[in-house]
Amino acid sequence: MRIRLIRKENMSRDHLAVLEAKLCYSESLEGDCGPLKAWRAYPRYLYGFLDLASVQPIAIAEASGRPVSKPGWWIDIDFRGKGYGNELVDLLAAELLADGVTTIGSIPIQTPQGRYDTQSRKLVLRLRAHFPQTDA
């Protein structure tokens, strides 16, 4: 593994500041404020992902809902297309299974201008493969 999952409440102030800056100023979001809103609004079930080589945050996920969850995630553009998304959903699945999630609900694909839709669909399928029950 090249990344580690950390619950938001356990992240350092420095890591939180880095993520906040990435979510506020990332060109990859192209006006999509959904990840930032989720990161600020949800009180629980928020996760950061650290790159182990640089020890810097590179992604977030929100996965509220128990026992059915409909997670969403954002990955820094510099880490897309390199397998980090696969690791993210595998780590997220392990965390959700340990936390009582039994079913993954419908996950809408919402990417800027549809540019990452194919990759996002593959990640959704990979996440669903970890769960015996899924909702369409």
What is the set of domains in the chain, with CATH numbers? 3-134 (3.40.630.30)
b/e code 53-87 from CB counts within 10 Å (16+ = b): eeeebbbbbbbeeeeebebbbbbbeebbeeebbeb
How far apart (Å, rounded) are the C-alpha atoms in residues 59 and 76?
6
User: What mean pLDDT is reported for the chain?
Assistant: 88
Is the overall model pTM greater than 0.85, yes or no? yes
Q: What is the pLDDT of residues 56-85, one digit of tens each?
A: 999 999 999 999 999 999 899 889 889 999
